Structure 1
Amino acid sequence: IETDDETFWMLYLDGNGNEQWRKHVKGESRKREERLSDIKLNRDGSIILAGTSAEELGKENWKIVKLGDKQVNDLIEKYDIKIYPNPVTDYAYVEIGFDFKEADGMLYDMGGRQLQNLKTKNRVTKINTQALVQGAYLITIKTNDNKTANAKLIKK
């Protein structure tokens, strides 16, 4: 790293910590107050960087850079099921991350008792959790073509 260097390095590591790829973005102005504020890896494989550039602290200009990379598509973290908000107070949304026609969703307590059964054709389904006591629960999804996914739901 050189003095006043504003190069931002990005590394993508697999679940075992092995480097899959690295990229860097160089600033052009070589100012001292270059800051990377946020980075987002999009599902389409593009990367968005947001940051500020300033000649002196307090006089920042925002920069947003979008990078596209066909190779990144295979490296995007994929999910089978996503629950939000989690922890939940009243209602949770269960988002299924793969294609299906119909799915059964089951809500279990940690003792293995089934508390709710939902049928859905939607990628996102709303679940009423108002009657649940505070604690951890398991949501299991099983589709018409036998794909399954599980996720933990936390009730506040």
Structure 2
Amino acid sequence: MKKQLNKIGLDRIESKSLSEKLNTLLANYQIFYMNTRGFHWNIKGTNFFELHLKFEELYNDSLIKIDEIAERILTLGYTPLHTYSDYLKEASIKEAKDISNGEQAIKVILKGYETLLPLERELLDLASDSNDEGTNALMSDYIREQEKSVWMYSAYIN
């Protein structure tokens, strides 16, 4: 049986599976983004200036990744999730509310990476098996960056 290809030459069925998993990643990133945005707004204490800037850097990076993930889903020929009700239903990362303590915020960020990194590794494997270099490259970049972030945030609180 001949494979049906999408507009970029990838198998439609494999692309659908990738898009579904990318939508799961997108939903988790949206919650991760809102959490870091809230930490930026609400941080207090002796490390305010340092963490306020760090959280801004983190939510700006997340916003770029959200756009890249949604555009990758569109490139594969599918529709990205785009409502918060869908994000909340699909995401494993939980909302963080009323956190103003830096160490507590960083622990929530590290917990978020515990969700994002395995999803990205799963997507890396799926993309590799599907010959999807675009998704593969994106996930590889995210993993490399986030592994370093985990090390740095962990070092900050220990």
Tell me if both proteins adopt one fold, taking TM over 0.5 as the criterion. no
Give the structure with higher Rg (CA). Answer: 1
Scaled by the length of structure 2, the TM-score of the pair is 0.22
Structure having the larger proportion of residues in strand:
1
Task: Say which structure, 1 or 2, has more relative contact order (CA 8 Å, 6+ apart).
Answer: 2
Scaled by the length of structure 1, the TM-score of the pair is 0.22
Structure having the larger proportion of residues in helix:
2
